[in-house]
């Protein structure tokens, strides 16, 4: 018998269950949401605004979010009490873009990103902000060290209440989405190690490490916004709106449209 295995925290592909949803449909509207998030941030960087936002963070975590929202996360109406999800702060544009596709936000709302008082619609906070948007966000996760620390303490609290018979939290999970910026904070890794000291296994906590931002090689998530590169206000001749943005160093036209499905 060998004690070595190539599988750590995973299983062989042959042992995976069938995907519960429709992969083609989910991949299609995930592309719409990615596009809407990028357009929203680019339009927030237009002349007269210049507030920008983060693009690559959501692009790199969109699949994790959508699979989680569609198939894993439990809502507050779940008999077990529901999960607690700590969304990565710089990926907030994707959550707003998803709400737009769902019909929860208007185009004017998305054009009010980072403009809580001056936008044409409902002000959309830069990052998860339960006080400004209590119907959207449950937990604040920015500054970057706040999300990991809060998630770990939440899992501790759930475990404490369960072990002492205060509340049955056995069906509640804490999900924490962490990017490179969060893991740069020393307290994030330190608390993850300290978390295992009193109780080696913490069944309530689910940590998801976000892959590196794919659209800007070697770029950190805290620098993946148009304001970091200050693109030129005029696009070179022959440049279309489909090839604008941070990747080309040109600014997209404010007229770039959002994508929304016309089918149910």
pTM reported for the whole predicted model: 0.75
3-state DSSP assignment of residue 206: strand
Counting residues of the chain whose pLDDT is more than 90, the rounded percentage is: 50
Of 47-51, 137-141, 151-155, 245-249, least confident by mean pLDDT is 245-249
| pLDDT, position 183 | 82
Mean pLDDT of 82-109: 95
The residue with greater pLDDT, 110 or 180, is 110
3-state DSSP assignment of residue 205: strand
Q: What angle do CA 136, 138, 144 make, to 5 degrees?
A: 105
Strand partners for 86? 176
| pLDDT, position 195 | 52
pLDDT tier at 143, thresholds 50, 70, 90 = confident
Q: What is the mean pLDDT of the chain?
A: 78
| pLDDT, position 6 | 67
Give 189-209 pLDDT, tens digit per residue.
777 666 554 454 555 667 665
pLDDT tier at 188, thresholds 50, 70, 90 = confident
**Structural domains of the chain in order of their starting residue, each with its CATH number:** 22-243 (3.40.50.970)
| pLDDT, position 254 | 39
pLDDT for 123 beyond 60: yes
Strand partners for 174? 84, 205
Q: What angle do CA 80, 85, 197 make, to 5 degrees?
A: 85
Q: Taken in order 187, 193, 196, 197, is the CA torsion positive or negative? A: negative
A 10 A CB-CB count for 180 gives 17
The residue with greater pLDDT, 242 or 152, is 152
Q: How far apart are CA 7 and CA 97, in angstroms?
A: 36
């Amino acid at each position: 018998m060998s004690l070595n295995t190539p599988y750590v925290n995973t299983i062989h592909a042959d042992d995976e269950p069938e995907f519960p949803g429709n992969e083609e449909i989910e991949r299609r509207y995930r592309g719409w949401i990615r596009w809407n998030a990028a357009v929203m941030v680019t339009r927030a960087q237009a002349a007269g605004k210049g507030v920008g936002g983060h693009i690559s963070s959501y692009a790199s975590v969109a699949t994790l979010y959508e699979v989680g929202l569609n198939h894993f996360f439990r809502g507050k109406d779940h008999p077990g009490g529901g999960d607690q999800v700590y969304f990565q702060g710089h990926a907030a544009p994707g959550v707003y873009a998803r709400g737009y596709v769902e019909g929860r936000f208007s185009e004017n709302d998305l054009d009010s990103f980072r403009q809580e008082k001056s936008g044409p619609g409902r002000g959309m906070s830069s990052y998860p902000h339960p006080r400004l948007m209590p119907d959207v966000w449950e937990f604040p996760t920015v500054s970057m060290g706040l999300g990991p620390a809060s998630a770990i303490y939440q899992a501790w609290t759930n475990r404490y209440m369960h072990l002492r018979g205060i509340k049955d939290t056995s069906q509640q999970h804490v999900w924490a989405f962490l990017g490179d910026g969060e893991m740069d904070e020393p307290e994030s890794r330190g608390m993850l190690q300290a978390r295992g000291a009193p109780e080696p296994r913490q069944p309530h906590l689910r940590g998801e490490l976000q892959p590196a931002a794919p659209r800007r090689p070697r770029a950190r998530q805290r620098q993946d916004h148009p304001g970091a590169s200050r693109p030129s206000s005029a696009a070179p001749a022959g440049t279309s709106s489909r090839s604008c943005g941070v990747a080309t160093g040109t600014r997209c036209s404010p007229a770039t449209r959002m994508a929304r499905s016309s089918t149910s």
